[in-house]
Amino acid sequence: MKRSALFGAAVFAAALTTLTPAAAQAAAPTGDYVALGDSYAAGAGVPGQSAGLCLRSDHNYGHLVAAALGSTSYTDVTCSAAKINAMTSPQYDAFIRVNDPQLNAVNAGTKLVTLGIGGNDLGTSDLGIGEVIATCIAGAVVNPLGTPCHDHYGHGYWNWSDWAWEYGDDTLVDRIDAAAPQLADTLQRIHAKAPDAKVVVVGYPSVLPEDQWSCLGKQPVTVGDVAYLRTVLVKLNSMLADASAANNATYVDTMAPTRGHDVCSDDRWIEGALPGSPAVPFHPNAKGEQAMADAVLDALR
């Protein structure tokens, strides 16, 4: 997603076991591996950084998966701020071309593709999800006890019995629904270019906690909006899972295994507005990227 934003990440709440290269190779594709996606896939802000404005880390989950698999060839074209259309079109920041169409890296010899994308399609500007986060933070300044983010984007209602947002018309949900056919088209294009490849869609982790009250005073978003944004994140991951199932791809859930390490936790694998470890705000730190890699390896195993 955008280098200046996106929901954040977290990782396994339970103890994680990392596959050795030999064990991973025995159960997962080997050969050419191509990593596609946005800033969560790129590891924005995690040392060491390269690729200019794409903010690509050599410790993002793609690099970690490739190392564990002992891949004979690994190509990383992930880029911060990427939307789904960045798979087939060049990516620009203002007037600067920052990345070629990511699908250019996929070919008939590709054996494994990981794709982490969709979050930036929640925003209409180049900021992607950063636009949403900025809107929610700005609203909290003037309405700290309300739900300014939900009031701006959502037209659902608060179910007091279940203590959760119920969907009515919702701008962010509409954008998720609109992104679904674009993602399906992307997956079909990957299969057409690499018919022998294992295609893995990597979901977004538990950026926000299930208990919104645990965020009270910890992040510049209201408690009510934490609950609302968590619901949107669940909807986004559901769309990714459904599109994967319908288009011969494997969906990797990183939300359940990262529970308890959100931006409001005491043991953060996703950094908040003021990062305590190297990472772009609301993005995975090194532990978060490792956890996402472990989830991918577990799915391949």
The DSSP letter of residue 127 is T
Q: Which of 63, 150, 261, 283 is catalytic?
A: 283
Taking CA 60 as the corner, what is the angle to CA 58 and CA 66, rounded to the nearest 5 degrees?
Answer: 80
Q: Are 6 and 232 in contact (CB under 8 A)?
A: no
Count of C-beta atoms within a 10 Å radius of residue 18: 14
Query: Torsion over CA of 207, 210, 211 and 217, rounded to 10 degrees?
Result: 10
DSSP string, 113-126: EEEE--GGGG-SST
CA distance 211 to 214: 6
Is residue 283 annotated as a catalytic residue, yes or no? yes
Contact 144, 155 (CB under 8 A): no
Q: Which of 4, 39, 57, 244 is catalytic?
A: 39
Q: What's the token pair of residue 235?
A: 């909807």
To the query of whether residue 39 is one of the catalytic residues in this protein, the response is yes
Distance CA 136, CA 7 (A): 12
Nearest to 60 by CA among 82, 37, 90, 83: 37
- Closest-CA residue to 39 (of 299, 236, 292, 283): 283
The pairing of beta strand 198-202 with beta strand 73-76: unpaired
Which residues are known catalytic residues?
A: 39, 283
